[in-house]
Amino acid sequence: VPAPRTWWRTLVLNGQCMGAYCDVEQPDADFLAAQGLDETANLYKCEDRLVTLPDSLAYVTNYQKETNEGSGYDDLIAFIETLNETPDGDFYETFIDILDIDEYIDYYALLMLINDGDAIFKNFLLYHDLEADWWMVIPWDKDLTWGVRWPFLEGLYWTSSLLQGASAGGNILTWRLLNQPVLRNLYLSRLYESISERFPRDDLSARIDAAHELTRGSGEVDFRKWYWEDNTRLRQGAEELREFAEGRYAYIFTQLDGLFTPQELYINEFMAGNSRTITDEYGEYEDWIEIYNPGPAAVAMGDYFLTDNLNEPVRWAFPDTLLPAGAHLLVWADEDGWQGPLHANFKLSRNGELIALHKKEPGAGSPVGPEDIDPVDLVYFGPQVDDIARARFEDGNLRWAFADSASPGASNPPGQGIDDPHLPPADLTSLRLHVWPNPSAGAVHFDLPCAAGGAIEIFDVSGRLCRRLSAPSPGPAGQSRWVWNGDAFGGRPASPGAYWARYQATGREAGRATRVI
């Protein structure tokens, strides 16, 4: 999710330390350029919940323009009116063309993970690429997070709803998106992925400890902490946040299944890098997608479509075939339609993309156009590994994981998901990153208790990558070892302070072993 960068600063005024402050990057054209976005785009700071307002002056009052300040608000007003007035039956096909849904699902999952109490109504940025007519939501002003609620003295709340703001009285965009069962299920799957793969508790605890260690001294000097003038809460803060994380994660796990809406069909498993797992009728190793029918009756597939591009929602039509109750259907994503009726006209990208399953809406004529579809299932995925499938566990479940053993055309057995496709399951239980000496004034050693590739990444407490150590050396008894000499990129010495280290397995977007140093 693109977001303003932050840094901890110690403020010294006339030689006197005034405390630790969070320096937040301002949302402007420079920010957009730093994020690789179009710096000529419109960027709005939103202090309202995207409800239709009575006149243009009300929009100027509630939405502050951060770029192109001299131009009008016509694009924002049109977006908000479309958001509020589009019928439910047309909402999906309208907004897949103009909104980065994948990014918004990521954004909302993160809000609910950290229990943000503000963004359900306000405190976010709206980005509009004028040339592409493409909208995206960007986080802003994340002070009322980690379960903090007014008046800030009552502890941290971790049992708040996982659907905050998803109502007519909340954020209209959240409400309209999550009122679509397919998008709500996508969000719930993403939330599970966030706490199981992207932000495991070990990683979170390490960041909390490192930030607390860095800010505690200067933070105690600052007496302008608004209800926290007494430093007791500050000193207890790291433990409180760890308790919040434990409670929030546990609460999320108990709520997910009850919020999941059963679907008529599921994208149940796929492989975007098939080099030796299974061949098609012509003996070729091709990408594949598995569809699962959880229902009690057969489904006629002639009205269904697959695509990997939401701008082409009816890209490939299923043949007129029946998918029996409880059965699985394998589709080859190989662009070889001449090889048979179950060979789609697109391939899957090993670098990550999407798969969407659509259905002709009732009463639509032929040929079926982009406006004539209803969503059935939607899956986004990141970088994949050859011959490791991504699958639901179990069939039709909201939980996705890399598969220990692919099962194309068959059920996904429970307990077969793995988090890291580069290490055998036996090694995952013993993946402990040993850091020594810690603390250190010189070289730091990182040891893993198994032979492994990958890299060690060193971050400062603001999350900035300072050093990347690749190509481990063999350690004693089959271990892998990396050595950091305390240098940052460019060879300059790293500043004294707390850092955290993350082991990243080869090809993975994020590793699982994290330590504070």
DSSP H helices, 198-342, are: 201-221, 232-259
How much is the pLDDT for 463? 64
Tokens of 251: 């609460």
Which pLDDT tens digit goes with each residue over 284-298? 999 999 999 999 999
Q: What is the DSSP string of 408-425?
A: TTS---TT-EES-TTS-H
Which pLDDT tens digit goes with each residue over 263-275? 999 999 999 999 9
Q: Which residue has the tokens 């016509």?
A: 74
Query: Has residue 166 been placed in a domain?
Result: yes
Expressed in percent and rounded to 5, the helix, strand and coil fractions of the chain are 25, 25, 45
CA dihedral sign, ordered 37, 38, 39, 45 = negative
Same domain, 89 and 186: yes
Domain end, chosen from 418, 453, 488, is at 418
Which pLDDT tens digit goes with each residue over 66-86? 999 999 999 999 999 999 999
| Contacting residues for 410 by C-beta, under 8 A, at least 6 apart | 328
Q: Is the pLDDT of residue 490 over 70?
A: no
How much is the pLDDT for 471? 64
Same domain, 90 and 135: yes
Contact 247, 255 (CB under 8 A): no
Query: Please, what's the b/e burial string for 72-95 (b: 16 or more CB within 10 A of its CB; e: otherwise)?
Result: ebebbbebbeebeeeeeeebbbeb
CATH number of the structural domain spanning residue 448: 2.60.40
Same domain, 282 and 306: yes
How much is the pLDDT for 429? 40
Mean pLDDT of 42-61: 97
Same domain, 12 and 77: yes
Same domain, 80 and 215: yes
Same domain, 459 and 474: yes
Mean pLDDT of 242-254: 89
Same domain, 304 and 213: no
pTM of the prediction? Answer: 0.81
Contact 188, 259 (CB under 8 A): yes
Contact 510, 202 (CB under 8 A): no
Helix axes 232-259, 201-221, angle to 10 degrees: 150
Same domain, 409 and 434: no
Res. 509 pLDDT band, cuts 50 70 90 = very low
Query: Has residue 334 been placed in a domain?
Result: yes
Res. 435 pLDDT band, cuts 50 70 90 = confident
One-letter identity of residue 441 = A
Domain end, chosen from 259, 279, 311, is at 259
Q: Measured between alpha carbons, how far is residue 362 from residues 44, 89, 267, 304, 305 in Å?
A: 38, 11, 21, 12, 14
Which pLDDT tens digit goes with each residue over 210-223? 888 888 888 888 87
Same domain, 222 and 276: no
Query: Has residue 1 been placed in a domain?
Result: no
Query: Has residue 354 been placed in a domain?
Result: yes
Mean pLDDT of 394-413: 93
Domain end, chosen from 395, 418, 441, is at 418
Query: Has residue 304 been placed in a domain?
Result: yes
Q: For the chain, what is the domain count?
A: 3
Same domain, 36 and 164: yes
Query: Has residue 367 been placed in a domain?
Result: yes
Domain that holds residue 511: 425-516
How much is the pLDDT for 355? 99
How much is the pLDDT for 462? 61
Min mean pLDDT across 239-248, 301-310, 349-358, 491-500 is at 491-500
Same domain, 245 and 138: yes
Same domain, 159 and 297: no
How much is the pLDDT for 212? 84
Contact 433, 515 (CB under 8 A): yes
Query: Has residue 90 been placed in a domain?
Result: yes
